Amino acid sequence: MKAIITLTVPEGKRLIAKAVVRMPEVVRARERGRILLKGGTTVSAVAEELVGTPMRISGRITPTGLRSARDLCGAPHCMLVEGLEWRNVDGELPQVVAGLGEGDAIIVGANVIDAHGGAALLAGAPLGAGPGGVISGFMAEGVPIIVAAGLEKLIPGSVSDAVRAAGRKGVARSMGMAVGLMPLFGRVVTELEAVRLLAPVDCQVIARGGIQGAEGGVVLAVSGEPADVDAVFRLALELKGATTSGAADSLVECEGPCARCKLHKGCIYRSPKLAIRYGAGTR
């Protein structure tokens, strides 16, 4: 049996989240260890699946460019899950990461992935702010790392080339903050892998993009035993109309100039004169 499934970007994030929480390493860590979540919209969807709580979204790409949240809210950007309990660990990340072991798991998002399994996170603040300072520690501790990232993050070429092309310093003008890229090493889970994790089926991407809300979306051809294909198809229908996960206050983007402009490089919105010069407004 074969079925065609179309997912918008938010629907794809929810599908990935449902698959990630069923991965053996995540189930094991939830039952006998700990799970560290580093916030992003896809990882926030994972947090909702695990403990019913969305996370704080920090940086984001919007139609105006690379922006931060307008306000800092109390929701966690980094969360440690132990069984059914969770706590905000934004202020103690180095200690938390150093204490993780083989029976634990780290779930992090990515802003860019490539066809070779490469992944990286954008950094707009010095040293990638709090999480940026410990990302190298993610890899050093030998903890299973899952990179939850939708296919809208897939780029032509390699992540290593993108890392070399990016950079916070030396950017004269940017739509929003100038950014660098921090490489990640882990198991990348996209919508494609999510379907394969959720059911013993074959899955192939057959189209990308769309209109009227499906921009960046994905079309998947799923084939296999009727019961398995039907289960995936029903789940995809249940996800229709899904919205972006994240603490509501943190989804509101900054209105430059803002209090955190001093941390950012190249942003035309931090200067009303520059914004007017380029016809961008200050929002």
**Least confident window among 42-56, 174-188, 266-280:** 266-280
Top-confidence range, 66-80, 122-136, 258-272 = 66-80
Separation CA 7–CA 217 (nearest Å) = 6
Separation CA 75–CA 281 (nearest Å) = 30
pLDDT digits (tens, 9 = 90+) for 117-156: 999 999 887 766 767 677 777 778 889 999 999 999 999 9
Answer with the residue of higher pLDDT: 73 or 231.
Answer: 231
The token duo for 81 is 């899950």
Separation CA 161–CA 170 (nearest Å) = 17
pLDDT at position 220: 98
pLDDT at position 37: 97
Residue 249's identity, in one-letter code, is D
Per-residue burial over 129-162, b = 16 or more CB atoms within 10 Å of its CB, e = otherwise? bbbbebbebbeebebbbbbbbbbbbbeeeebeeb
| Percent of the chain whose predicted confidence (pLDDT) is above 90 | 67
Residue 282 — pLDDT band, cuts 50, 70, 90? Answer: very low
pLDDT at position 266: 78
Is residue 25 within 8 Å of 146, Cβ to Cβ?
Answer: yes
Task: Please report the DSSP string for 98-132 in residue order.
Answer: HT--TT-EEEEE-SEE-TTS-EEEEE-SGGGHHHH
pLDDT digits (tens, 9 = 90+) for 168-197: 888 888 888 889 999 999 999 999 999 999
pLDDT digits (tens, 9 = 90+) for 25-40: 999 999 999 999 998 9
The whole-number average pLDDT for the span 241-268 is: 82
Separation CA 63–CA 44 (nearest Å) = 21
pLDDT at position 233: 98
Q: Cα 108 from chain centroid?
A: 7
Answer with the residue of higher pLDDT: 194 or 60.
Answer: 194
Separation CA 158–CA 33 (nearest Å) = 34
Separation CA 91–CA 25 (nearest Å) = 26
| Percent of the chain whose predicted confidence (pLDDT) is above 70 | 90
Separation CA 259–CA 270 (nearest Å) = 10
Q: Is the pLDDT of residue 275 over 70?
A: no
